[in-house]
A = this chain, B = another copy of it.
Amino acid sequence: MTTVDLNCDMGESYGIWTLGADEDLLKIVSSANLACGFHAGDPSTLRSVTHSAVSHGVAVGAQVSFPDLAGFGRRPMQIDPGELRDLVLYQIAALDGFMRVLGSRVSYVKPHGALYHVTVSDPAAAAAVVAAAAEFDSTLAILGFPDSQLLRAAQAAGLRPVTEAFADRTYLADGQLQPRSAPGSVLTDSSQILERTLRLVETGEILAIDGSVIYQRAESICVHSDTPDAARIARVLRDGLEAAGISLTSFTSGSPIG
């Protein structure tokens, strides 16, 4: 049976400020990338989101970030790799504490925002993130962009690299995402998102904006959580995948697609 993972950013509230429909999304997705307090996610948010994730059988990943609450981790920072490794270890360990008291564990690491983008192309930053994950728990998977320095570093360190594709983003012919700033680069039509996702899961094909076809094996599909409509779109996606005989399973527990 074909399976795929749906991953989604969560735990991004902070104090009085709420963000994202975590409770709704946890009923739908199979993996939750949880903020660890550096770009969002105060300890009480971590407590409640980890509790819900575990209740719903959703795998939990540490969504590690640059230390930048005001910029939501979206502003690139130049941080010495040694310090970056320490920052990442701190975040993984803190989140893991909330999982541990629930009898569970963090099962993967995915960089957030600017750190995600930096670790696509910067080998030193990628190695720093992976080193922190590897030293904390060598069974952690690393979730990232295909062909990224991050996934190469994971491979080199003996951690399992897991590739993701974006259900609701347009792609360039070279396999890169079209920048968010480009009009139409974020898809909002749920049937179009479902159609693209089905094609990707079943054939490995993504239609690029120039009409060419990219081949990509993604074990996980990322859905955004920060649009008003996120939970509805995720539900359409899950229902459509299941109707096509594809079941959702966390990549940490199931077999990869293919």
Interface residues, chain A, CB within 8 Å of chain B? Answer: 13-19, 37, 40, 42-44, 46-47, 67-72, 75-79, 82-83, 86-87, 89-98, 100-101, 114, 135-136
Contacts and interface: CB of A to CB of B under 8 A. Distances in A.
Nearest to A69: B15
Given A14-B17, A68-B77, A94-B97, 9 more contacts: A16-B40, A17-B17, A43-B83, A44-B82, A67-B70, A71-B77, A75-B78, A90-B98, A93-B97
Contacts of A101: 89, 135-136
For A15, A46, A98, which residue has the most chain B Cβ atoms within 10 angstroms? A15
For A19, A40, A47, which residue has the most chain B Cβ atoms within 10 angstroms? A47
A23 B195 CA distance: 39
A46 B90 contact: yes
19 contacts: A13-B17, A15-B70, A15-B72, A16-B19, A17-B18, A43-B87, A43-B89, A44-B83, A46-B86, A75-B78, A76-B78, A77-B78, A78-B114, A90-B94, A94-B94, A94-B97, A97-B136, A100-B136, A101-B136
Nearest to A74: B16
A14 B15 CA distance: 11
A91 to B, nearest CB: 8
For A42, A68, A97, which residue has the most chain B Cβ atoms within 10 angstroms? A97
A195 B136 CA distance: 45
A150 to B, nearest CB: 19
A40 B15 CA distance: 10
A17 B100 CA distance: 29
Nearest to A131: B101
Contact of A72 (B16, B93, B100): B16
Contact of A92 (B67, B83, B97, B135): B97
A113 to B, nearest CB: 10
A189 to B, nearest CB: 24
A59 to B, nearest CB: 19
A87 B78 CA distance: 19
Contacts of A95: 93
A90 B43 contact: yes
A114 B78 CA distance: 10
For A18, A70, A71, which residue has the most chain B Cβ atoms within 10 angstroms? A70
B98 A89 contact: yes
Contacts of A136: 97, 100-101
